[in-house]
Amino acid sequence: MENGKQYIYIVQSSLEPSKCKIGKTNDLERRLKEYNNMTGKSKENIYRYLFACEAKNMAKVENDIKMQFGALREEKSREIYFYNADLFEGYVNFIKTHAMFIKEIFIKADDKKPIVKIIKKTTPSLDERGLTRKDVMQKAQKADNDEFYTRYEDIEKELSMYDKTIWEDKVVFCNCDDAVGDSEKNTSAFALYFLRNFKELKLKKLICIHFGGGLDLFSGGAKGYVFTKDGFHELIESPKGYMGSFDSPLSLKILNEEADIVCTNPPFSRAIDYWKVTIKSGKKFLIISNIVNVVHTAYIHYFKDNKIWAGYNRIDYFLNPKRQLVEASGHWYTNIPINDRPKYKLLKIMPLKEIPDKYKKYDDNGILLVDKGYIPNDYKNSFAVSARPILNGLLEKGYKIAQYERYSPYIKGKERFVRVLVQKI
Ligand SMILES: C[S@@+](CC[C@H](N)C(=O)[O-])C[C@H]1O[C@@H](n2cnc3c(N)ncnc32)[C@H](O)[C@@H]1O
pLDDT in tens, 375-405: 999 999 999 999 999 999 999 999 999 988 8
Distance 390 CA to ligand 1 centre (A): 26
Q: Which atom of ligand 1 lies at the shortest distance from residue 188's CA?
A: 9
pLDDT at 119: 62
Q: What is the pLDDT of residue 179?
A: 86
Instruction: Calculate Rg over the CA atoms of the chain.
Output: 26
Q: Which residues contact 423 (CB under 8 A, 6 or more apart)?
A: 381, 382, 383, 399, 400, 402
pLDDT digits (tens, 9 = 90+) for 339-381: 889 999 999 999 999 999 999 999 999 999 999 999 999 999 9
CA distances to 153, 265, 330, 366, 376 from 315, in Å: 10, 11, 5, 34, 28
Strand-pair partners of 223 = 210
Measure the CA–CA gap between 302 and 279, rounded to whole angstroms. Answer: 9
Residue closest by Cα to atom 10 of ligand 1: 267
Distance CA 242, CA 249 (A): 9
Give this prediction's pTM: 0.88
Strands 80-82 and 101-107, bridge-based pairing: unpaired
Q: What integer pLDDT is reported at residue 141 of this predicted model?
A: 43
Residues within a 6 A CB radius of ligand 1: 143, 146-150, 176-177, 188-190, 211, 214, 216, 244-246, 264-268, 270
Ligand 1 pocket check: which of 173, 175, 211 to mutate, most ligand atoms within 8 Å of Cβ? 211
pLDDT < 50 positions in the chain? 1, 123-126, 128-133, 135-143, 183-184, 215-219
Go through 397-422 and write b for each residue having 16 or more CB atoms within 10 A of its CB, e for each that does not: bebebbeeebbebeeeeeeeebbbbb
Can you give the pLDDT at residue 49?
96
Q: Which residue, by CA, sits nearest to atom 11 of ligand 1?
A: 267
pLDDT of residue 309: 94
For residue 301, the model assigns a pLDDT of 86
Cα separation, 37 vs 158, in Å, equals 48
Asked whether the CA dihedral 86, 88, 89, 91 is positive or negative, the reply is: positive
Residue nearest atom 17 in ligand 1 by C-alpha distance? 245
Q: Within 13 A of 171's CA, how many CA atoms are on the CB side? A: 14
Determine phi and psi for 186, rounding to 5 degrees.
-80, 140
Q: How far is the CA of 147 from the centre of ligand 1 (A)?
A: 7
Looking at residue 43, its pLDDT comes to 66
Residue bearing the CA closest to ligand 1, atom 22? 176
